[in-house]
Chain A
């Protein structure tokens, strides 16, 4: 626990709030219940502040600042709903949705699209997109980079923030930047250990269990018919908590809660994918 932390007072949308030293503006916003859109931010990953959808207006700053990574300083005055902020948030959502398929993003993301009045089609027909075929090169998960918003989360989860496997990185640059293994080598020949932690953090459905991908292709994926059963992984003594997503009496995917003290949302290949034996029916 350590020493109690000092409190820092800042003002957000003319409301005062005290948060502990070292908190971010985003922490303070959440404290006040100010809904702040985020895409590349996740509580269990280092902030990379690349999506820029969380930007806020900070008094005295020339440009907008990312709420997810900017640390609070005493006396900061922040606006989260000014015209400048709304404009940038809208443009970020529009630019992204005009270049990648965001249809599988959460309802929360769709809500932000509506709230900021994002109309991705207004850049016109025929603008460049990331459209490309889905990469299916193994039995466990697929990669659909036409849905990738380049939030860096999967790279972080594969690297020092969780798995330390470093099987993927950001390659290329500019509009052509993309997530890739070395030389775009298929996953089975890469360093990938199939922990699936990249799937766990992906906000757009670009990374997906193959079971889910196949069911979606067949039209049988139906979340309204799914239940979630919490259990503890049986494979070793660590005690990872599993959430088994079950549809029609079959496990269709496995997750772990981000705020779980043992996993922080991360699993290994066995916990994530080792469920086939459960539903192996005697033929």
Chain B
């Protein structure tokens, strides 16, 4: 491959940013100075291309240092990693976090998603509107990014546009309400930056127990616990672990999916910020049980504090000899789709976050084409409990089909927003009572943008996989957004439509064009005085069916759910 670059040289700062990560180039072939030997010997080639997976970290390094990715900088990165510039451009333009135009030194990302809308969020002048920042328990939320040598990112919630947020320290975070029974029990008890503090609370006891039991016994306990994945798809965790453990091809990879981006969801952030060692321990157990040689922890870009805490926890656990495998923390770059497991693999591999067609499934052909175990943060926290108390005991909690406890992220119009841990099967009404509705509740959006609206007459639905399925809803990511009778439901539905139009990767036709048409038709319907024509309702339903049936991944397949449920249940139309 012949890399042609026409964008002019990278600046010294840009080069320093890239070299800070990759080291200095050794020859002309890697983008360095021309040495006499370079005329006679070719260096790089396959060795450089095998580093393709470093593209996103390199782009982050450039963006952090300079505030945007110039053509010169991108082409320098391409030389260093032997990536065709057209392909790298495809990657950098895919992720919302990377800027292709110069930006001010300080960028203010202001959340204008549903939970923040309900908290009265306003996008101030100069602010960049962004989808859910996962700070819904302290909404409205913002994220400040300062580029330069002293790069800094700060989550601000509640965000007060009137305050001088650039000068003053961020307002003290109002504590998120925690209903702690099991998974949350250590949060606020331990110092999240101290391994000793974690061990005082019984930390790493589960890993020791797992190693005593042996890999097969651990998988048996997880299977016996009938744990279903907490990321949204509810796949039996034990079965997944068994498949990876048995896969003949090596290496096996472990991927923890911490790309929590479903609007209204913040449980994984609370877990990582408050109890990061437990996640490391959970990953260590999963890797031990399934024979994974290497782990990746993919944290969404919008969680700088969580990332810092888990990075610190990994370093400390490793120094204490508690972590046998290498765990690399990877940073997302502003793409909801990367929460889809195969899109996440592509993102780690340095590609556009486009989902792959399944089969083959990740347990056979996953990250770098190898058998891969993907688990959500909350799932791995549940594993700790299973190892400590036994699968049978875990299965006594919750319902027959949905065992254990579940974390719910309650936000919107309630008095006590926060993460609530309740047994599976607790009714939605009970959960809402814990959080205390502010006024008369008109609807709940259960499961985030990919979920559906649940009406007051359905509030006795048990929060279990089978219970929600029975009313055509889903637990999804555990997001519970509450709307009181003053909420503008049309605005909420339009925001959901815009969310999917923004976040569709664009690969398959039903989702790429379908999400666009869905938004256009909904806007048209709500703008008309009579509330939209019957033919438009039909059109939306036709698009919805094709997206559900023919899209490649879960994003497209669920992109019409909330809107369809809103149109049939909420009084938003006068058709």
Contact = CB atoms under 8 A, between A and B. Distances in A.
A92 B510 contact: yes
B349 to A, nearest CB: 15
Contacts of A164: 1
B357 A66 contact: yes
A190 B86 contact: yes
Contacts of B85: 182, 191
Interface stretch (B165-173, B290-298, B545-553): B545-553
Contact of A128 (B71, B93, B520, B524): B520
Given A150-B506, A174-B505, A174-B506, A182 B89 contact: yes
A50 B508 contact: yes
Given A51-B508, A91-B546, A164-B1, A98 B90 contact: no
Contacts of B505: 173-174, 177
Interface string B525-560: 000000000000001001101101111100001000
Contact of B504 (A70, A175, A191): A175
Of the candidates B93, B503, B508, B514, the one having the most CB atoms from chain A within 10 angstroms of its own CB is: B93
Nearest to B4: A191
Interface string A93-107: 001101100000000
Nearest to A66: B357
A166 B515 contact: no
B12 interface: no
Nearest to A123: B517
Contacts of B71: 182-183
A276 to B, nearest CB: 25
B413 interface: no
A181 B7 CA distance: 13
Given A171-B90, A191-B86, A150 B7 contact: no
A185 interface: yes
A169 B550 contact: no
A7 to B, nearest CB: 21
13 contacts: A49-B357, A51-B508, A52-B509, A96-B509, A165-B1, A166-B1, A169-B89, A173-B93, A174-B502, A175-B501, A180-B89, A182-B71, A191-B2
In the A-B complex, the 4 residue pairs with the smallest Cβ-Cβ separation, listed nearest first, are A177-B506, A166-B84, A91-B546, A169-B90
Given A63-B549, A175-B512, 4 more contacts: A84-B549, A149-B509, A169-B87, A173-B504
A264 interface: no
A88 interface: yes
B6 interface: yes
Given A171-B89, A173-B94, A52 B84 contact: no
Contacts of B551: 52, 63
Of the candidates B88, B502, B513, the one having the most CB atoms from chain A within 10 angstroms of its own CB is: B513
A191 to B, nearest CB: 5
A174 B1 CA distance: 29
A122 B71 CA distance: 42
A21 to B, nearest CB: 15
Given A172-B94, A175-B504, A51 B86 contact: no
A99 B512 CA distance: 10
A173 B515 CA distance: 12
Given A63-B548, A173-B504, A128 B509 contact: no
B502 to A, nearest CB: 6
Interface in B1-22: 1-4, 6-7
B509 A50 contact: yes
Given A88-B510, A92-B546, A173-B506, A166 B517 contact: no
A100 to B, nearest CB: 9
Nearest to A189: B6
B341 to A, nearest CB: 16
A154 to B, nearest CB: 11
A141 B89 CA distance: 23
B520 A63 contact: no
B510 to A, nearest CB: 6
A45 interface: no
B74 interface: yes
Contacts of B87: 166, 169
Contacts of B357: 49, 66, 69-70
A41 to B, nearest CB: 13
Nearest to A53: B509
A233 interface: no
A92 B552 CA distance: 13
A55 B2 CA distance: 38
A127 B517 CA distance: 7
B521 interface: yes
B151 interface: no
Contacts of A127: 516-517, 520
Given A91-B542, A91-B543, A175 B516 contact: yes
B431 to A, nearest CB: 28
Contact of A88 (B93, B352, B549): B549
A140 interface: no
B514 A95 contact: yes
B88 A182 contact: yes
B507 interface: yes
Nearest to A54: B550
A123 B506 contact: no
Contact of B501 (A55, A63, A124, A174): A174
A258 interface: no
Contacts of B503: 174
Contacts of A53: 509
A122 B516 CA distance: 15
